[in-house]
């Protein structure tokens, strides 16, 4: 069944910034919709997100040029009148773009089309998207991911003293519905703890709370982790039911000129920052640390792995940007033992799958991830299950664009249970 119409629009993401939506109409009249997310703490090596840079509207963040590329270049050149075929069409889109970083067509335009194409293909085959992904690329059996829920937001996702970006809670339950219930109860309990401590319950970009700490004698990150521990201790599921993760997003407080990390009043070397992580690991149930160091601090990452890699999941995000070349470099340098996977860092579904596969072949853990700017598109839930990635993060268990992914996982869990 072929594509009879291609449409694209500029829509708003969860932060009120423009993003791209693509609509494919098939010969049977079905309309297949896909939209793409956008990051705030983006890595320098990510694929290029095309923005209009017209300061008169949307603070220069419009995506009308990317929309135009879908309608005027990708649609007539690759899509119209053709049968959806993700592998062939992704290749053609990459060739049409012709750049290393997707800067001609825009990674936002390319990914919107790529997701729409694979969704259309699954529709035509009459199977669920996660099943289609699983079959097409011959992944291990579909599997619900273990999720990391972002309970406290800092860094570039909130206005607060928190230098670190994400304070994640990881339920230990293997059953997804149970782990979502656990995370949700934790979130509600944390709200009560914050009220009790006289701290506000305003939320950040990913739905986590943004406490404004008044005690300046202890650094804010330690206070945030203490709040999480305190919540876990009085939580009906029991303190053992959760462990913690951090995404420091350290690229964004690294001063490359001085080769130092600006952490509150301090100006830390990589070894000093690693000491700080070791100290936190000794006092809190910390099992995962993402972007603990900056995107090009390879030497620092090696030290981090040597010192914490045995007991902690060391996750590369800005460091690796879902790019097989950088993942390969990370493997060679033993810089990490886990990889964050974000489709819009690399521009197409096929390239995302190549990155996941490389990780699986090399026993690196994979975490499928949302972005801080999201839409209600739930593609990453199907990708996580279909690729048997093992883990996923999609923010707090609140806000429509975050729960869209968790709710899709609930449906998939039911389908898999039969
Ligand atoms: C991250 C992401 C998602 P952003 O750093 O892992 O949580 O943030 O989308 O802003 O890059
Ligand atoms: Mg990150």
- The residue-averaged pLDDT of 250-261 equals 97
pLDDT of residue 24: 98
Residues 127-141: tens digit of each pLDDT: 999 999 999 999 999
Residue partners of 349: CB distance under 8 A and separation at least 6: 86, 90, 111, 114, 115, 117, 118, 343, 383
Measure 145 CA to ligand 2 centroid, in angstroms: 18
pLDDT at 218 over 90: yes
Residues 93-149: tens digit of each pLDDT: 999 999 999 999 999 999 999 999 999 999 999 999 999 999 999 999 999 999 999
pLDDT of residue 41: 87
Helix (H, G, I), strand (E, B) or coil at 243: strand
Ligand 1, CB within 6 Å, residue ranges: 39-42, 166, 206, 247, 249, 317, 340, 369-372
Closest residue by Cα to residue 109 from 48, 66, 62, 61: 66
Q: Give the ligand whose atoms come closest to the C-alpha of residue 291.
A: 2
Q: Active site residue: 128, 166, 290, 342, which one? A: 342
Q: How far is CA 304 from CA 41, 177, 219, 344, in A?
A: 21, 34, 21, 27
- The residue-averaged pLDDT of 394-416 equals 98
pLDDT at 365 over 90: yes
pLDDT of residue 147: 98
Measure 123 CA to ligand 2 centroid, in angstroms: 32
- The residue-averaged pLDDT of 321-342 equals 98
Atom of ligand 1 nearest to the CA of 37: 9
Domains and CATH numbers, the chain: 3-126 (3.30.390.10), 146-417 (3.20.20.120)
Q: Give the ligand whose atoms come closest to the C-alpha of residue 395.
A: 1
pLDDT at 25 over 90: yes
Residue nearest atom 3 in ligand 1 by C-alpha distance: 371
pLDDT at 418 over 90: no
Atom of ligand 1 nearest to the CA of 206: 7
Measure 43 CA to ligand 2 centroid, in angstroms: 9
Atom of ligand 1 nearest to the CA of 370: 3
Instruction: Output b/e per residue, 370-380; b: 16+ Cβ within 10 A.
Output: bbbbbbbbbbb
Query: How many other C-beta atoms lie within 10 A of the C-beta of residue 147?
Result: 26
Measure 408 CA to ligand 1 centroid, in angstroms: 21
Q: Indicate the helix (H) or strand (E) that contains 390.
A: strand 390-393
- The residue-averaged pLDDT of 355-362 equals 98
Beta-carbon neighbours within 5 Å of ion ligand 2: 247, 290-291, 317
Closest residue by Cα to residue 260 from 215, 298, 293: 293
Q: Provide, rounded to the nearest whole percent, the portion of the chain with pLDDT above 70.
A: 100
Measure 88 CA to ligand 2 centroid, in angstroms: 31
Task: For a ligand 1 pocket test, name from 19, 38, 39 the mutation site with the most ligand atoms within 8 angstroms of its C-beta.
Answer: 39
Atom of ligand 1 nearest to the CA of 373: 9
Rounded CA gap, 345 and 369, in Å?
Answer: 11
Task: For a ligand 1 pocket test, name from 366, 371, 394 the mutation site with the most ligand atoms within 8 angstroms of its C-beta.
Answer: 371
Residue 206 annotated to the active site: yes
Its sign, for the CA torsion 247, 347, 158, 21, is negative
The whole-chain average pLDDT of the chain stands at 97
Closest residue by Cα to residue 335 from 289, 272, 286: 289
Q: Which residue do the tokens 């620092």 mark?
A: 300
Rounded CA gap, 282 and 392, in Å?
Answer: 25
Task: For a ligand 1 pocket test, name from 14, 17, 41 the mutation site with the most ligand atoms within 8 angstroms of its C-beta.
Answer: 41
């Amino acid at each position: 069944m072929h594509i009879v119409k291609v449409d694209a629009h500029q829509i708003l993401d969860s932060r009120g910034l423009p993003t791209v939506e693509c609509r494919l109409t098939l010969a049977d009249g079905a309309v297949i919709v896909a939209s793409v997310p956008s990051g705030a703490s983006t890595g320098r090596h990510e694929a290029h997100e095309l923005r209009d840079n017209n300061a008169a509207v949307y603070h220069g963040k419009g995506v009308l040029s990317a929309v135009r590329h879908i309608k005027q270049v990708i649609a007539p050149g690759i899509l119209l009148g053709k049968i959806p075929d993700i592998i062939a069409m992704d290749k053609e889109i990459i060739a049409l773009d012709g750049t290393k970083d997707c800067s001609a067509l825009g990674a936002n335009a390319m990914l919107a089309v790529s997701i729409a194409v694979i969704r259309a293909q699954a529709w035509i085959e009459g199977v669920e998207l996660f099943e289609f992904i699983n079959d097409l690329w011959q992944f291990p059996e579909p599997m619900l991911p273990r999720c990391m829920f972002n309970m406290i937001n800092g860094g570039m996702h909130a206005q607060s003293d928190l230098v670190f970006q994400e304070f994640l809670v990881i339920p230990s339950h293997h059953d997804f519905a149970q782990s979502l219930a656990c995370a949700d109860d934790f979130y509600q309990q944390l709200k009560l703890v914050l009220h009790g401590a006289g701290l506000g319950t305003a939320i950040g970009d990913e739905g986590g709370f943004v406490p404004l700490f008044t005690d300046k004698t202890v650094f804010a990150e330690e206070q945030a982790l203490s709040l999480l521990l305190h919540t876990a201790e009085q939580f009906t599921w029991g303190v053992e039911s959760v462990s913690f993760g951090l995404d420091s997003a350290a690229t964004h407080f690294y001063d490359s000129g001085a080769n130092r990390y600006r952490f509150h009043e301090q100006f830390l070397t990589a070894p000093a920052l690693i000491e700080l992580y070791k100290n936190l690991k000794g006092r809190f149930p910390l099992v995962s640390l993402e972007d603990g160091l900056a995107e090009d601090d390879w030497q620092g990452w090696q030290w981090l792995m040597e010192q914490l890699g045995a007991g902690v999941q060391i996750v590369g995000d800005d460091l690796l940007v879902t790019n097989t070349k950088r993942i390969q470099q990370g493997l060679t340098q033993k810089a990490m033992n886990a990889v964050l996977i974000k489709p819009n860092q690399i521009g197409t579904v096929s390239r995302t799958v190549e990155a996941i596969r490389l990780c699986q072949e090399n026993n690196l853990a994979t975490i499928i991830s949302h972005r801080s700017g999201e839409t209600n598109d739930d593609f990453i839930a199907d990708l996580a299950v279909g690729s048997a990635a093992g883990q996923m993060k999609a923010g707090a268990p609140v806000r429509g664009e975050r729960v869209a992914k968790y709710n899709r996982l609930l449906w998939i869990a039911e389908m898999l249970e039969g």
